[in-house]
Amino acid sequence: MDPRENPYTPNAGARPPLFVGRDEQLDSFDVLLSRLERGRTERSMILTGLRGVGKTVLLGRFEDHAAQRGWATVDTEITKDMPFGRRMVALARQALLQLSPKSKWKDRATRAAGVLRSFELTVDSTGALSAGLNTERVEGKADTGDLGPDLTDLFLALGEAAADHGTGVVFLVDEIQFLAVAEFEALIAALHKTVQRSLPITLVGAGLPQIPRLAGEAKSYAERLFTFPELGRLDEQSAGQAIAGPAHHLGVDFHPDALRLVVAETEGYPFFLQEFGRVLWNHTPASPITAADVHAAQPAVEHELDASFFRVRAGRTTDLELRYLRAMAELGPGSHRASAVAQVLGRTADQLGQIRTRLIDKGLLYAPSYGLAAFTVPQFDRYMRRTHPLPPVARPT
């Protein structure tokens, strides 16, 4: 079939041609906005899940829904290339200008710009990020140099400005697990204060499964401030719709056996569905797609995943970290005790503790509970067994 007509989109954060299986989360987000619009409080939301389950895609849908309701929406992905304070200045500036053009600011929007100016000068003395606002700083607000209270002042001012203009602000934060503890703590504390004031400002984040634990460690009341919807694989019906629907729209059908095979091989993970669909489309000569076509395309699917989705993550590791991952893969999918991984390598858990910690810090593993670790990437154990030989067991000297 013509690859130029291929409907599948296995790209990071790319919106799938058919969005299915996330109605519950979309409904919860609409309830969140509706309550804030009515001056009521509601817990903010942090999506959690493994890589490839569609967290970033869902954030994009949230952004669309909020924008359609007239809310100011600002989004960011947490990385180490921009200090958190400067990042928040940029986001708050965007939100403020979305609330209303500067020429139509009301008193609270003008004040919010002054608080933003104060906040910025504590994190960047050049003041370059708020250039063009042409406002004087508000003395005594967001100028202590302590991130927690300063960010709180900024959020309160921004929330009051939003209420004054009859709208609200949504911060959409991806890869939130990469926030430093102090940054996460400040963000939670600032949001907490806006809840106490019933202001129309909220945060929707997305991150790996350890987020609820990290939030709880940052602030003990985090579980009362956020919900943590867990995104997993799509159910069989939704996965079938995701793979068959886009093809059917273009006049291409799946034999039922072929559809069941694709769903089984991908385990219903959205990214894998898109990758399998793309390869299958390009390797199948004509409709309908059969089970034989699926079997024939399987090696090419694995090659594509190995060369991009999996390899880019394995490539971020040292040799010792890679050995640890391979030993863990030998134990299969699921969660494994550090002692079991160490036994595969002929070491002790204490000897390998720092390696395990670094892999968690890099986002390749997460700890579902004390003493356990699991891959953040579905089917990563299969990839490691396919592509990396098991390292020899270390012998005591």
Look at residue 131 in the predicted model and tell me its pLDDT.
Answer: 60
Answer whether residue 360 shows pLDDT above 90: yes
Contact 294, 280 (CB under 8 A): yes
Look at residue 224 in the predicted model and tell me its pLDDT.
Answer: 87
- DSSP code at position 170: E
DSSP characters over 262-322: HHHHHTT-HHHHHHHHHHHHHH--SSSB-HHHHHHHHHHHHHHHIIIIIHHHHTTS-HHHH
Distance of alpha carbon 87 from alpha carbon 184, whole angstroms:
13
DSSP characters over 51-98: TTSSHHHHHHHHHHHHHHTT-EEEEEE--SSS-HHHHHHHHHHHHHHH
pTM here is 0.92
Look at residue 370 in the predicted model and tell me its pLDDT.
Answer: 82
Residue 377 to residues 75, 94, 265, 383, Cα–Cα distance (Å): 24, 33, 15, 10
- Tell me which residue of 88, 122, 113, 119 sits closest to 203, measured CA to CA: 88
Mind listing the pLDDT tens digit for each residue in 80-126? Answer: 888 899 999 999 999 999 998 888 888 999 999 999 999 998 887 77
Which is more confidently placed, 130 or 306? 306
Determine the average pLDDT of the residues in 311-336.
94
Distance of alpha carbon 112 from alpha carbon 158, whole angstroms:
6
Look at residue 327 in the predicted model and tell me its pLDDT.
Answer: 96
Contact 45, 204 (CB under 8 A): yes
Answer whether residue 395 shows pLDDT above 60: no
What are the chain's domains? 3-13+234-313 (1.10.8), 23-227 (3.40.50.300), 315-387 (1.10.10.10)
Half-sphere exposure of 79 (CA within 13 A, CB side): 5
Mind listing the pLDDT tens digit for each residue in 153-200? Answer: 999 999 999 999 999 999 999 999 999 999 999 999 999 999 999 999
Look at residue 221 in the predicted model and tell me its pLDDT.
Answer: 84
10 Å CB burial of residue 276 (0-12, 13-18, 19+) is: buried
Mind listing the pLDDT tens digit for each residue in 233-280? Answer: 999 999 999 999 999 999 999 999 999 999 999 999 999 999 999 999
- DSSP H or E stretch at residue 374: strand 372-375
Answer whether residue 397 shows pLDDT above 50: no
Q: Express as a percent the part of the chain with pLDDT over 70.
A: 97
Question: Please, where are the H alpha helices in 104-180?
Answer: 107-123, 147-164
Tokens of 36: 């804030």
Answer whether residue 140 shows pLDDT above 50: yes
- pLDDT band at residue 13 using 50, 70 and 90 as cut-offs: confident
Task: Identify the three-state secondary structure at position 226.
Answer: strand
Contact 323, 388 (CB under 8 A): no
In degrees, rounded to 5, the angle at the alpha carbon of residue 49 between the alpha carbons of residues 20 and 69 is 55
